[in-house]
Amino acid sequence: MNESEDGDKVLEEMRKRGYGVDEGTGVIGHYPLMFFPYSIINAHCSTALEHHLK
């Protein structure tokens, strides 16, 4: 599985949990991604998500 597909899965899972994800700006809800609690996302998925949003 490549990083882009992994990032898509993370974004989709976050949408299912009710987080608003703006893929264009990397902002989740009203909070910049850097303030998002990564504890709910494992390290690999965090990296994939950051890569996907660049």
> Cα separation of 43 and 51, whole Å?
12
Phi-psi region of 41 (alpha: psi -120 to 50; beta: other; left: phi over 0): beta
User: How many structural domains does the chain have?
Assistant: 1
Residue 21 domain boundaries: 3-53
* Token pair 């599985």 in the structure block, residue: 1
Single-letter residue type at 50:
E
Residue 22 or 10, more confident: 10
Arithmetic mean of pLDDT, 18-34: 52
pTM above 0.75, yes or no: no
